[in-house]
Structure 1
């Protein structure tokens, strides 16, 4: 598999190099040179496969022979060793695709665990790797648990202090060992800026073996394609014909994966890019002007991102496939409407959380009578217990995965958004 840097097309690498590097020159994202396409007469056969077998087939179409098939099978089996997507009917023509049945109760378990397997494959030569990533909530837990106690890998996670839920924080800030967490006095965008500065520091990258584990890493992105195929396979033939998928968007990696699935031949009719008040992309699609505002704190905190890193990949894919951006549906939802939507969902028998509620709201508002809609449930409602309990007057029981860490002390460091301080920290902790 060959990939090129979106900011310098002359920089070309293979899959394993892209995983190891994370970002290219000028902090450019890597993108596949060849976009595999499944022939129409073979699609049904692939859809009839079980989740793991199909995932091996899909990922091998991108990775090729860089990883021997027997090892790729092993890595995918290890990574996806939990319940896959679950389709739950919510109304007559709308269902939720629940992606939160993994070890950290979030969709990001799929990508983070696959990336951990690939880095373990690369680390057989015993090179030290430092995973530096920023999280707006769920990435931190998924990455921390995926890499916990992995040999020769240390993980540094930056997150906005006081702007993620306490239960999200407890999932990854109580582990210790090779997992270090730093609460940054600022927004997610401030955390991500620090990560980008670190990757732009050649000496730091070389000295610490720097890598990233959020959705800018191509391995995370490719793994997420697999659950779109599974979701499609789980719905009826009738509902497949006019399928609309609504994706709650923060860094836009999840939407990028869905669009890549469509580019492979998965016949999803259309997508809705659903955001909260951090509506840089909806405003861009409306006006053609890219004007990120300062990040706004919302009850859907994992989507509190005003400068989504994966948007250049979305634009590149539309350009490569000769699709029109006007075909991408979009919208933003306020906190007040999000709360009202949580109540609406409860009244029809489904307990959700703020991110999925945003995707549902826009889907319901835009779905036509003859269409069938899926909205992605990206996290377990209990991860946002305070918000959900207060809005719905509920007392959600904590799943086992949350009970134990919620009673453990936080092990985080605290830091201002100062790159020089972070740089010294990374070098001292080497």
Structure 2
């Protein structure tokens, strides 16, 4: 597999290099030189397979001979040990539940595959994973890499701006997992990560890598559950399928668009955001004008400068799709609360991120179409918000209940790269 740097097309790497490096020169994202395309009959055959077998074939189509197909299958089997079921919500709308993994969020798929892939390509080198999170990435990455030899993880998150249970899920592990509460927002955390990758001495000294959706292994793994969703639908639902994706850093939507480029016949996608609506405004006006990030009840989407957007533009350019064909919408906190309540009254317990995706989908779905919205996190991860909306308690799953009373092990730090650099350089193995 060959990938090129979107900011410097002369930098070309293989899959193993891209996984280990994370980012290219000038903080450029790596993008596949070739997107494998499947015919309609090949898609039909893939859809007959089980989730793990199909996913291994999809990923091997990208990776090629660089990793033997049986090794890819083993990585997928170790990573995808939980389902991604489609549940009916209304006659013409369902949800793809991606929160049945160990940290109750969609990022378990990408995080766990990345961990398996990195072990496969890293040999015995020591690697430091540095990543920023607005909530769910941190937990997924922490649990995926917990106790793995020769790998340590440093996770930055905005202090006081993720839910308490999200924080408990990954800031109570210890061992090779180090967590830092940054005084700022997610974009500040992301900026610190980018500065670290620009520091060549730091990168070389500590073996720096990233597990954000900027890492190609995480992104490719997310393609697989779009095929899994499609496999669970009947013929009529497949014919006019519209998928609404709650979007923050836009990795999930990127993966869905790659699935479409591979031949999965999805009619259209909807990019659903909260009040941090840089992309919807851009699609309407043609002007890229990020505002200061605002805190919302859908905190995992509190991102004003989404890192994966260049990949989305590259897909549209490569596939000759008009960017105007990407449907979009933004939802306020007040409407989000109303939607969580409305969904509960329909018999479906959701949380703010999924509710946003549902709201925009419901507003834009046309007669004869079937809609899917992504349920990216378990409602209990946002217990305080959801209980406040519904007016009653919700049950905590065991993954959260067993950590709810544990002591946080996080460091506190100003948004200062010099301080972070000193911390990373002196961190002991």
TM-score (norm 1): 0.99
Aligned mates of 1:352, 1:86 — CA distance in 2:
15
Task: Check conservation: 1:123, 1:152, Cα contact below 8 A.
Answer: no
1:359 to 351, 357, 360: 357
2:277 to 251, 276, 279: 279
Q: CA deviation at 1:51?
A: 0.3
Aligned mates of 2:96, 2:218 — CA distance in 1:
19
Aligned mates of 2:27, 2:300 — CA distance in 1:
23
Aligned mates of 1:244, 1:70 — CA distance in 2:
34
Q: CA deviation at 1:14?
A: 0.4
1:387 to 385, 401, 415: 385
Aligned mates of 1:119, 1:424 — CA distance in 2:
26
Partner of 2:219: 221
Aligned mates of 1:352, 1:71 — CA distance in 2:
37
Partner of 2:86: 87
Partner of 1:103: 102
Partner of 1:117: 116
Structure 1: any 5+ residue segments left out of the alignment?
A: none
Task: Check conservation: 2:242, 2:370, Cα contact below 8 A.
Answer: yes
Partner of 1:376: 374
Aligned mates of 1:151, 1:123 — CA distance in 2:
11
- Mapped pair 1:291 → 2:289: yes
Aligned mates of 2:321, 2:196 — CA distance in 1:
35
Aligned mates of 2:254, 2:133 — CA distance in 1:
18
Alignment of 1:334-353 (within 5 A): 334-353=332-351
Q: CA deviation at 1:122?
A: 2.2
Aligned mates of 2:119, 2:403 — CA distance in 1:
26
Aligned mates of 1:387, 1:285 — CA distance in 2:
30
2:234 to 233, 236, 242: 236
The C-alpha deviation readout for 1:164-208, integer Å capped at 9, x for no partner, is: 000000000000000000000000000000000000000000000
Q: CA deviation at 1:404?
A: 1.1
Task: Check conservation: 1:131, 1:155, Cα contact below 8 A.
Answer: yes
Aligned mates of 2:326, 2:71 — CA distance in 1:
37
Q: CA deviation at 1:69?
A: 1.5
Which segments of structure 1 move beyond 4 Å, counting only runs of 4 or more?
none
Task: Check conservation: 1:137, 1:159, Cα contact below 8 A.
Answer: yes
Q: CA deviation at 1:407?
A: 1.0
The C-alpha deviation readout for 1:376-415, integer Å capped at 9, x for no partner, is: 0000000000000010112111000001111100000000
Structure 2: any 5+ residue segments left out of the alignment?
A: none
Task: Check conservation: 2:85, 2:98, Cα contact below 8 A.
Answer: yes
Task: Check conservation: 1:129, 1:208, Cα contact below 8 A.
Answer: yes
User: What secondary structure does 1:127 align onto?
Assistant: coil
Aligned mates of 1:357, 1:77 — CA distance in 2:
31
User: What secondary structure does 1:219 align onto?
Assistant: helix
Q: CA deviation at 1:328?
A: 0.3
Aligned mates of 1:368, 1:71 — CA distance in 2:
43
Task: Check conservation: 2:20, 2:122, Cα contact below 8 A.
Answer: no
Q: CA deviation at 1:305?
A: 0.3
CA RMSD of aligned residues (A): 0.6
Q: CA deviation at 1:272?
A: 0.3
- Mapped pair 1:321 → 2:352: no
The C-alpha deviation readout for 1:310-358, integer Å capped at 9, x for no partner, is: 0000000000000001000001000000000011101111110000000
Partner of 1:43: 43
Aligned mates of 1:214, 1:292 — CA distance in 2:
20
User: What secondary structure does 1:267 align onto?
Assistant: coil
Q: CA deviation at 1:123?
A: 3.0
TM-score (norm 2): 0.99
The C-alpha deviation readout for 1:40-86, integer Å capped at 9, x for no partner, is: 2211111111001100110000000100122111111001112x211
